[in-house]
Structures are given as C-alpha cells and as structure tokens.
Amino acid sequence: MDEKRQTLGFGTGAEPKPTASKHRLAVEKRESVAITGVLDVISFDEEQVVCETDLGVLILCGANLHVSNLNLDSGLLDVFGEIDSITYENQPQMLSGKGKSAVRGKQSLFGRIFK
C-alpha cells in the first residue's frame, strides 16, 4: 500500500501540485480509505466515521471500521474496514476557537481532548 500511497501523493513521496483545497480521498478495494484535508474528527465507531474536511463533512459508513492513522496537524486520516458508503454534507462554517464546529455547535471530541 505504501507504494500506491506514494503514487497518489500521500506519505513521503512526491506531493501533489497545490490546489485551492487540500482535501483528497483514496479508496482501495473498499477496505481502506486515505483522506487528506481533515480538519477534525467529529465522531467514530465501528460502523461510522464522521470527519470535517476543508470541503465539508464526510461520513464513512460500514462495518468493523478502525482509524489506523490520525494526524490533525497535517490533516491525514486513514480508516480500514468494510466500507459501504461515503457521503458528503454541506460545507460547514467554522466557529471561532480551535476544535469548534458549527456542525455540532460545540467543541468536538478531539477538540476537548487536545486543548
């Protein structure tokens, strides 16, 4: 997978050309998802991962979902498991303050943990 991630511009390989958005989504065999441009993780469990990206809220649904890598400083999120659907909601409006989201109207789980 590292070889494919490098080709897609993830990881230590050549980075993709800069664009207006840092968000990128790469799905491999409906078993793993690599996401860039992640601003916050709103919630996650074995059936759903909800994260805020710079292009809106992204909802991953499936079974046995596990977050294998999360780095909010660089905006990276890797999830593996059985992926059934990927859905976007409208672009959120960020509230003032780190880790606050208009989607929930209060501070997110990771925003509360990493104050």
The model carries a pTM of 0.63
pLDDT at residue 7 above 60?
A: no
Amino acid at 27: V
Token pair, residue 44, equals 């996650």
CA distance 55 to 17: 18
How far lies 55's CA from each of 23, 52, 88, 114, 115, in Å? 7, 8, 9, 23, 24
Q: Map out the domains of the chain with their CATH numbers.
A: 22-113 (2.60.40.2000)
How far lies 29's CA from each of 26, 32, 37, 84, in Å? 10, 7, 21, 11
14-53 per-position pLDDT tens digit? 444 444 568 899 999 999 999 999 999 999 999 999 999 9
Dihedral sign (CA 30, 34, 40, 44): positive
How much is the average pLDDT of 46-71?
95
